[in-house]
Structure 1
Amino acid sequence: MPAPPARPPSRRAVLQAGSLVLLLGTQHIARGATIVAVRVWPAPEYSRVTIESDGALVAKQFFVTTPPRLAVDIEGIDLSP
C-alpha cells in the first residue's frame, strides 16, 4: 500500500524556519570591528599613537615621502563624516 502524499509545510513553519536561519546567521555578518578610541602621546623624542578597537584589526604601515609621514592603512574601516 503506497504512503499518502506528504503535505507541504505550512506558511507559518516556513516563516519560523526562515527567521531562525536569519537570526543564527547574523552573528557572523553583523559588523566588523569598531574603533573605540585613539590616543596620542607627543614627546620631544618620539610620539606614540594607540588605536583601540572592539575586535581584531588588520593593518599595514608605510612611509610617504611628500610630506614625510608614517601612514597606517586599517582594512575594513571607513571614515564617518
Structure 2
Amino acid sequence: MSASTTLMFCWLALAVLSVTSVQLGNAGATLLMASAVLLAALGKAWLIADGFMELRHAPRMWRWLLLGWPVAMAAGVLLTLPFSS
C-alpha cells in the first residue's frame, strides 16, 4: 500500500473514531460508555503512532513506550471512575 493511501485510510479511521467517541459520550455516563470512549481513544492513539508517526518499523521499545502511555492513562481513568460521584 502506498504512503498516501495509508495516510488517507488513517484520516478516515480517525474521523470515524472521533465521531464514534462523541456519539458514545452523548449516549450516557455509564461505566460501559466510558470504557467504549476510552477504547476509541486507544484506537486513535494506535493509528497516530503506527500510521502518521510510522512507528510500525521502529524498534519495539519505542512502539511499546508510545503505545503504553495511552493504555496507562485509560487504565487510570477507568480505575478512578468508580470513586467519582
TM-score (norm 2): 0.26
Structure 1 length-normalised TM: 0.27
Higher strand share: 1
Larger RCO (alpha carbons 8 Å, 6+ apart): 2
Higher share in helix: 2
